[in-house]
């Protein structure tokens, strides 16, 4: 049997009193690949961040080889031999591959007292490391010219160069093409043969089953399944990950959708992004879209709202086709859009709450001829909208959006769209990064809007909230709609499977 290289015992971690990891124990053996799976928020990333020195555990112990392991920062964990390859890669895209490899400690030589970098030495070492991961690019190549897959290889080569004993791969395949994925798997196999241990985190359960020796399943911060992969099937993994009764987390829907169509999408395609999307949204309906990151759900939302172009197909808003690629036009015709990235696209983070709420409907507060904004009326309307979403803030005109909590920031974004009285509202991850109480308020607002006849497209990676709120759910994967379910047919496992599976459907 192989030796234990890393062992966690009863690791516990809470954020603001909310437990994220509860008594998690795991064992990693030399030369084996451990797959960790779980829903979003199950605690995978927190656990890895503790191993990688980004976070510290509240209690419990971690042993690395013969010693206790409690890194104070990522650099220390790296020196101890744990390389953490993040979802978003940590490379300097403006520097060369060789410079990235040695950025932490350049080999130097002194010439007349000046510490100069030994360029030739790092070039040669880099080239050798790149060869060990079958990456045939020049050490002098700039990282920005490499594909995502090649960048990943550079990260792995960098880890090898630092004599890493354990490599943590967090969702390594989300940005890779299928050929790059195959190459990555080949390298993982080879490294395992060299005695390097790996922790592999992925939503793609098929990959995990194929690639890993051992599997650990997390749910709500607890280990709910653990063992060699032979003990697991896809079905068992999914039911272990999901297995939870739905709590009373959602308001009951107060009205039924009508038959009138407000948004109709006909065979919409944008090559490489979304393929042949067709659906109808009715008045007062909440239509869920489920899918993983990269499934095309956000891209679809952006196309619907006119932020990105589409090549084929048709979008009809209230019966009229939308032709121009312009959010301005969409808003004018009654569409609203809440983006998944609140800080980058949803808010003017340094502007006042009032300015944020009034931004979309600004022209409607202007008197026709001189174009002057009627500030008192605008403030009153912003106040009404803030009250409707139960925004908690001390002053609409003096407080900036930055000072609000995540949930209140999201309410500001909602309020800004509600002022325009949209007929179709596209919500992309409206509950991301907000607490449970604020989530409920967001659901309540959605229900109120639907009851008033607004058609809502609700995109989320949390299947439970879709099941709690929606009349129908579309499941997206690889840019296509895989399934459409009505409320009576909702089945979490089916949704999960459709979203996770590769092209296995006819």
Partner 1 sequence: MTSSVPVRSRAVWRRLLFSEHFVLYLSVLYFLAVWPFAPRLASPRNLLDIFSNMLPLLSVAIGQTFVLVTAGIDLSVTSIIALSSVFGASVMTSDGGLLSGSILAVPAGIAVMLATGVAIGLLNGTAIARLRMPPFMVTLTTMMFFSGFAVWLTGSQKISGLPRAFVGLGVGSVGFIPYPFLIAAVLATAAHVTLSRTVVGRWIYAIGHNARAARVSGVPVNRTVVFAYAASGFCAAVASVLYTARLETGDPVLGQRILLDIIAAVVIGGTSLFGGKGKVLWTVFGVLFITLIDNSLIMLEFSHFTIMIVKGAVILFAALMDALRNRLLAAQ
x/- mask, partner 1, residues 291-310, rule CB under 8 A, reads --------------x-x---
* Strand pairing category for 214-219 and 33-37: parallel
Write down the least CB distance from residue 175 to partner 1, Å. 21
The CA distance from 136 to 129, in Å, is 10
Nearest by Cα to 290 from 88, 493, 431, 496: 496
d(CA 498, CA 503): 10
CA-nearest of 133, 189, 142, 195 to 165 is 195
Q: Which residue, 329 or 480, is less far from partner 1 as judged by CB?
A: 329
Nearer to partner 1, 105 or 369 (CB): 369
Residue 382 and residue 356 in contact, taking contact as beta carbons nearer than 8 Å: no
CA distance 60 to 24: 9
Strand order in the sheet with 166-170: 82-85, 166-170, 197-201, 33-37, 214-219, 222-228
Distances (CA, A) of 288 to 412, 414, 456, 457: 22, 18, 8, 6
List the x/- string, 372-391, binding to partner 1 by CB under 8 A: xx-x----------------
Nearer to partner 1, 330 or 492 (CB): 330
Which residues between 403 and 442 bind partner 1 (CB under 8 A)? 416
Site for partner 1 in 246-275 (CB under 8 A): none
Please, which residues bridge with residue 124 across strands?
none
Residue 163: what are its φ and ψ, rounded to 5°?
55, 45
Give whichever of 5 and 358 is closer to partner 1, judged by the CB atom: 358
**Smallest gap, in angstroms, from Cβ of residue 422 to partner 1?**
11
Q: How far is the CB of 372 from partner 1 (least distance, A)?
A: 5
Interface map 313-352 toward partner 1 (x if CB under 8 A): --------------xx-xxx----x-x----xxxxxxxx-
Least distance between partner 1 and beta carbon 382 (Å): 13
- Chain residues 354-373 in contact with partner 1, contact rule CB under 8 A: 355, 358-360, 362-363, 366, 370-373
Q: How far is the CB of 307 from partner 1 (least distance, A)?
A: 7
Cβ atoms of 463 and 454 closer than 8 Å: no
Nearest residue (CB) to partner 1, 48 versus 315: 315
Q: In a 10 Å sphere around its CB, with 0-12 CB exposed, 13-18 middle and 19+ buried, how is residue 239 labelled?
A: middle
For residue 229, the SS3 value is helix
The site map against partner 1 for 194-233 (x = CB under 8 A) is ----------------------------------------
SS3 for 140-200, per residue? CCEHHHCCHHHHHHHHHHHHHHCCCCEEEEECCCCCCCHHHHHHHHHHHHHHHHCCCEEEE
102 binds partner 1 (CB under 8 A): no
Q: Which is nearer to partner 1, 419 or 442 (CB)?
A: 419
Site size with partner 1, rule: CB under 8 A: 30
Query: Which is closer to partner 1, CB of 166 or CB of 389?
Result: 389
CB of 350 to partner 1, least distance (A): 6
Shorter beta-carbon distance to partner 1: residue 393 or 412: 412
Residue 204 token pair: 């793609």
| Choice between 357 and 445, CB closer to partner 1 | 357
Q: Interface with partner 1 by CB under 8 A: which residues?
A: 305, 307, 327-328, 330-332, 337, 339, 344-351, 355, 358-360, 362-363, 366, 370-373, 375, 416
């Amino acid at each position: 049997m192989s030796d234990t290289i890393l062992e966690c015992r009863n690791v516990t971690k809470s954020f603001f009193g909310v437990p994220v990891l509860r008594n998690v124990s795991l064992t990693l053996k030399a030369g084996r690949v451990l797959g960790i799976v779980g829903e979003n928020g199950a605690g995978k990333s927190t656990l890895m961040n503790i191993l990688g020195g980004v976070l510290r555990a509240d209690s419990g112990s971690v042993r690395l080889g013969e010693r206790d392991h409690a890194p104070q920062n990522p650099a220390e964990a790296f020196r101890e031999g744990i390389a953490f390859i993040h979802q978003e890669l940590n490379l300097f895209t403006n520097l060369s591959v060789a410079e990235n490899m040695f950025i932490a400690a350049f080999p130097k030589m002194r010439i007349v007292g000046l510490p100069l970098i030994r360029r030739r030495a790092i070039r040669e070492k880099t080239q050798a490391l790149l060869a060990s991961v079958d990456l045939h690019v020049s050490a002098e190549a700039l990282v920005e010219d490499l594909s995502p897959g090649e960048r990943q290889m550079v990260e792995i080569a960098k880890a090898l160069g630092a004599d890493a004993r354990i490599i943590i791969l967090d969702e390594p395949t989300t940005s890779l093409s299928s050929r790059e994925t195959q190459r990555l798997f080949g390298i993982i196999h080879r490294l395992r043969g060299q005695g390097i241990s790996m922790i592999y985190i992925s939503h793609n359960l098929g990959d995990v089953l194929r690639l890993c020796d051992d599997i650990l399943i997390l749910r709500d911060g607890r280990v709910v399944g653990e063992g060699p992969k032979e003990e697991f099937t896809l079905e068992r993994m999914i039911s272990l990950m999901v297995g939870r009764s739905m709590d009373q987390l959602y308001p009951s829907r107060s009205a039924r959708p009508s038959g009138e169509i407000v948004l109709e999408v006909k065979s919409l395609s944008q090559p490489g992004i979304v393929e042949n999307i067709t659906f109808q949204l009715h008045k007062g309906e909440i239509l869920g879209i489920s899918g993983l990151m990269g499934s095309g759900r956000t891209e679809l939302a952006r196309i619907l709202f006119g932020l990105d172009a589409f090549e084929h197909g048709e979008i009809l808003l209230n019966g009229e086709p939308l032709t121009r690629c312009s959010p301005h036009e969409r808003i004018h015709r009654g569409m609203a859009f809440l983006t998944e990235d609140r800080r980058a696209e949803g808010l003017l983070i340094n502007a006042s709450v009032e300015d944020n709420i009034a931004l979309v409907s600004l022209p409607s507060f202007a008197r026709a001829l001189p174009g002057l904004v009627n500030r008192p009326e605008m403030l009153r309307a912003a106040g009404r909208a803030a009250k409707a979403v139960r925004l908690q803030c001390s002053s609409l005109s003096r407080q900036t959006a930055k000072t609000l909590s995540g949930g209140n920031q999201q309410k500001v974004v909602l309020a800004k769209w509600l002022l325009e009285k949209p007929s179709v509202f596209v919500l992309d991850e409206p509950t991301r990064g907000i607490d449970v109480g604020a989530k409920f308020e967001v659901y309540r607002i959605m229900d109120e809007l639907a009851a008033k006849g607004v058609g809502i497209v609700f995109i989320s990676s949390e299947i439970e909230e879709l099941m709690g709120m929606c009349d129908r759910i579309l499941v997206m994967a690889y840019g296509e709609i895989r399934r459409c379910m009505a409320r009576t047919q909702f089945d979490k496992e089916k949704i999960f499977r459709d979203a996770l599976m590769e092209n296995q459907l006819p």
